[in-house]
Amino acid sequence: MKTFIQTFNARFGADMAGPVVAFIAVMVIFGLAADNFLSMATFGSVAFQLPELGLLTLAMLLPLLTGGINLSITFAANLSGLAAAWVLQSHGGVDASAGVFALACVAALVTGGAAGALTGVAIAYTRAHPILVTLSMMIFLRGLGEFLTRGGDVSGFPDYVAPIGHGSLFGLPIPLLIFIVCVAVWHVLLTRSKLGFGLLMIGSNMEAADYSGLNTRKIVVLVYTLSGIMCAIAGIIMLARFNSVRVGHGESYLLITVLAAFLGGINPFGGFGRVLPVFVALIVLQLLSSGLNLMGANQHLATALWGVLMIVVMAARTIVSKFRIFTGKKV
């Protein structure tokens, strides 16, 4: 058994063990408990629902790796969607051309990037705690969005936008393909770029990163700017899927993104983590949600289970960490 664990860790990484075990457990438990769980309908539903949560989790991932957090991701996504919707509504609405939609996407990316950059500048140059800064940004973006929309929805977009939210290409959902591309980009960024190395250094020890010559302020600003851009991509997907934009879309995803990151082996204090285990963790959470729905569980019960699962994950990681320190060996 020990040899198997060592071989698995050497090939896939120790942080992949938790998500894989959780995946197997979910598949076995719900496969036995729900007759139609192991079906193409379930996996198809997961494939369409995964990208929104997945993109927002990627937006949360980089700040977490620096030892920070971004509590404004859902409202940055919605405000980016509002920027895209405003461009479309101002240039024909349902009759807007493909060129206008491209301009709308640019507007969304600029809006998300700007929100992230402002957050990053505030954190980098004031050294205020990321929780306080991003909480303030969350309140600001929510209030701005509600002011611009009067608390209502913005809807009425061209028909060609809808497939981006729930269309298919080569038998795979288009949102899922976009998400997979973003996962690949984040993986390369963290493993093959100076920025990836720098943000992990900052998460491990900010002072040591400063003394080593890294421009920590620049890295922090870039991290939150990229987080905002990923929020904008999520906002575009939500716009296309719901054919409307509202300030509260996806608000419930916030804490689930943190849960997915921790389940995927991200160190809550920063400095360590990979994208691929988080990707598996996202699949596990979506399968868990689908399994509960098939069993007729109340949505409020499902929400409570997210909180319980987060506590269990954090407790398990603490126990494993203390065991490693006590034994002086790697499990």
With H, G, I as helix, E, B as strand and everything else as coil, classify residue 62.
helix
Q: Which helix (H) or strand (E) holds 169?
A: strand 168-169
pTM for the full model?
Answer: 0.91
Characterize 220-247 residue by residue with b for buried, 16 or more Cβ atoms within 10 angstroms of its Cβ, and e for exposed.
bbbbbbbbbbbbbbbbbbbbbbbebbbb
Whether residue 141 is predicted with pLDDT greater than 90 in this model: the reply is: yes
Share of the chain above pLDDT 90, in %: 48
Sorted by where each begins, the domain ranges of the chain are 49-277
What average pLDDT does the chain have?
A: 87
- DSSP letter string, 155-167: E---GGGHHHHH-
Task: Report pLDDT digits (tens) over 242-268.
Answer: 888 988 887 888 888 998 998 888 887
Residue with tokens 């729900």: 34
Section 127-132 average pLDDT: 93
User: 227: which 2 tokens?
Assistant: 């987080």
Residue 331's pLDDT band, with cuts at 50, 70 and 90, is: very low
Between CA 300 and CA 8 the distance in angstroms is 37
From residue 141, how far is each of 6, 25, 80, 238 by CA, in Å? Answer: 47, 39, 10, 17
Contacts of 78 (CB under 8 A, 6+ apart): 141, 145, 235, 238, 245, 246, 247, 248, 249, 250
Question: 150 or 217: which carries more pLDDT confidence?
Answer: 217
Section 8-27 average pLDDT: 79
Task: Report pLDDT digits (tens) over 56-108.
Answer: 999 999 999 999 999 999 999 999 999 999 999 888 888 888 899 999 999 99
Share of the chain above pLDDT 70, in %: 92
Contacts of 95 (CB under 8 A, 6+ apart): 158
Section 121-131 average pLDDT: 94
